Amino acid sequence: MALKAAFISEAPQLGVVKFQSGNSKVVVNLRFEIEKCRKWELCCRLGGLAQRGTTPVGDDKKPTVAGGAESSSVSIDGVQENESKGFLSLLPKPLSATDLSSSPNDGSNVRVAYQGLPGAYSEEAALKAYPNCETVPCDEFEAAFKAVELWIVDKAVLPIENSVGGSIHRNYDLLLRHRLHIVGEVQLQVNHCLLGLPGVRKEELKRVVSHPQAFGQCDKILTKLDVIRVGSPDTAGAAKDVSSKGVRDTGAIASARAAKLYGLDVLAERIQDDEENITRFLILAREPIIAGTDRLYKTSIVFSLEEGPGVLFKALAVFSLRNINLAKIESRPLKQRPLRIVDDSNEGSAKYFDYLFYIDFEASMAEPRAQFALGHLQVSPSYLMDNVLQ
Ligand SMILES: O=C(O)C(=O)C[C@]1(C(=O)O)C=C[C@@H](O)C=C1
């Protein structure tokens, strides 16, 4: 079988309405080697969950207290529970479906890494996903990945695409270099402000510092002001710079929160070209969460294709044949083999890039149609799925 490995993650799907209302969702994901038998691996994971103790529901399946032979007969509700409260409090708490679910909680006791300084939009996204979490700033995206891998933090929240600027390719590439799982996503309305030192007017600005994505999102006002754009690793860092350097003709594009944190004036609000300026962030974790059929899920895969007419069309057909909607398609050059010489003699002028295709589809891996779709993708003779995890 040509398929060697793939990166797969699943997430409860966020409907458009939920995105707009700003709900963040926790998602399920899976990452596994497909080389031998993907279905076996899936069964194993799902079976494992049941064994670890999802709370059975229904009258005939009352949860039991773990930890001892007698305790297994103790019901957690009703008279028996009241009578034996003292005894129960000494026993380990039984696992419940809530304990096992990766649904976003309020984030207490959760440490979340993000790229940038306090006041960055990424920090806002982390707080939207986990309102009471401890946010941990990182100087670059890769540091946030490593912070999760090294158990310094529990999660990372990283931007993956913006409604104006498009995909954040660096994070697509990093997803393959690191063994983290996508466990959720959060969408953030990004309202940019033009900031300056106290008392400065926007017409006095000659330079504006910000993140390149922010420049792309605020092109109109910057062109109108005719200022020099100076790049910065994140918007909050730009605000901090302006504040610490104290140069009156230099402003920053950043959040209103960054203005407060770094003592700057807001010279103009909502300066983005497109009023609906939304950035989608991925929530990454060390462990996947298990896909179910309890709600809508999104699954992410990445693969490469052998070159040939219609191969991508055929690959995508495995989803449309099963009425599975695709939420996002992204392609990235496959860097190990960036050029392909078509002509054996090496004289041919045609050279092709090989690509990795990232696809988000709206189905759960617990659904047979998703399993069949990936099975179909896997056995199709026209595909070469490279070992993208290496
Ligand atoms: O610079 C920040 O504040 C960030 O959080 C980064 C970032 C990005 O990389 O897209 C996030 C949201 C906005 O789209 C602009 C910048």
Q: Which tens digits make up the pLDDT trace of 34-61?
A: 222 222 223 222 222 222 222 222 222 2
pLDDT band, very low/low/confident/very high, at 244 (cuts 50, 70, 90): very high
- C-alpha 235 to ligand 1 mean position (Å): 7
What is the pLDDT of the chain when averaged over all its residues? Answer: 75
Confidence of residue 62 (pLDDT cuts 50, 70, 90): very low
Q: Under DSSP, is residue 66 helix (H, G, I), strand (E, B) or coil?
A: coil
CA 112 to ligand 1 center in whole angstroms: 16
pLDDT band at residue 380 under the 50/70/90 scheme = low
Tokens of 384: 């070469």
Q: What is the DSSP string of 193-235?
A: EEEESTT--GGG-SEEEE-HHHHHHTHHHHHHHT-EEEE-SSH
Answer whether residue 377 shows pLDDT above 60. Answer: yes
- For the domain 290-379, what is the CATH superfamily, name and number? ACT domain (3.30.70.260)
Give percent above pLDDT 90 in the chain: 54
Percentage of the chain modeled with pLDDT above 70: 65
Please check whether residue 232 is in contact with residue 209, taking contact to mean a CB–CB distance below 8 angstroms: yes
ipTM (interface pTM): 0.95
Pick the atom of ligand 1 nearest to 236's CA.
3
Structure tokens at 228: 């020099």
279 is catalytic: yes
Ligand 1 atom with minimal separation from the 255 CA: 3
Q: Are 240 and 232 in contact (CB under 8 A)?
A: no
Q: Is the distance from CB of 251 to CB of 209 less than 8 angstroms?
A: yes
Lowest mean pLDDT among 55-64, 277-286, 292-301, 302-311: 55-64
pLDDT level of residue 197 (50, 70, 90 thresholds)? very high
What does the pLDDT read at residue 98?
56
Q: CA angle 251-256-260, nearest 5°?
A: 85
CA of 239 to the centre of ligand 1 (A): 13
Tokens of 89: 């409090």
Strand partners for 266 = 195
Ligand 1 centroid–CA 118 distance in Å is: 12
* CA-wise closest residue to 188 among 281, 285, 298: 281
| Residue 316 CB neighbour total at 10 angstroms | 17
Tell me which of 135, 250, 279, 299 is the catalytic residue: 279
Structure tokens at 221: 């006002």
Tell me how far apart the 2 most distant CA atoms of the chain are, in Å. Answer: 86
**Distance between start and end Cα atoms, the chain:** 18
State the pLDDT at residue 90: 60
Per-residue model confidence (pLDDT) at position 294: 87
Does the pLDDT at position 3 exceed 70?
Answer: no
User: What pLDDT shows up at residue 70?
Assistant: 27
Which pLDDT band, with edges at 50, 70 and 90, does 285 fall under? very high
Mutate to test the pocket of ligand 1, among 112, 114, 121, 261 (most ligand atoms within 8 A of CB): 121
More confident residue, 143 or 341: 143
Integer Cα distance of 346 and 340 in angstroms:
10
Ligand 1 centroid to residue 350 C-alpha, Å: 38
Q: What is the CATH number of domain 111-190+278-282?
A: 3.40.190.10
- Domain 111-190+278-282 and domain 193-268, same fold? Reply is yes
Query: What span, in angstroms and rounded, lies between the C-alpha atoms of 282 and 181?
Result: 10
pLDDT for the residue 97: 60
Q: Work out the pLDDT band at 295, boundaries 50, 70, 90.
A: confident
The protein residue with its alpha carbon nearest to ligand 1, atom 3, reads 120
Catalytic residue status for 281: yes
Q: Return the number of other C-beta atoms located less than 10 Å from residue 100's C-beta.
A: 15
pLDDT at 107: 78
What per-residue confidence (pLDDT) applies to 308?
A: 83
Q: Are 362 and 330 in contact (CB under 8 A)?
A: no
Q: How confident is the model at residue 9 (pLDDT cuts 50, 70, 90)?
A: low
Q: What is the mean pLDDT of residues 73-80?
A: 28
Residue 120 CA: which ligand 1 atom is closest?
Answer: 3
- Residue spans of the domains in the chain: they are 111-190+278-282, 193-268, 290-379
Question: At residue 351, does pLDDT exceed 50?
Answer: yes
Residue of 7, 145, 281, 361 with catalytic role: 281
Q: How far apart are CA 44 and CA 290, in angstroms?
A: 11
Amino acid at 330: E
Residues with CB under 6 A from ligand 1: 116, 120-122, 159, 162, 168, 190, 211, 213-214, 234-236, 279
Domain 193-268, CATH number (from 3.40.640.10, 3.40.190.10, 3.40.50.12780, 3.40.50.620):
3.40.190.10
Mean pLDDT in residue range 51-78 = 26
Band the pLDDT of 108: cuts 50, 70, 90. Answer: confident
CB 202 within 8 A of CB 266: no
Is pLDDT above 60 for 6?
no
Nearest ligand 1 atom, CA 232 = 1
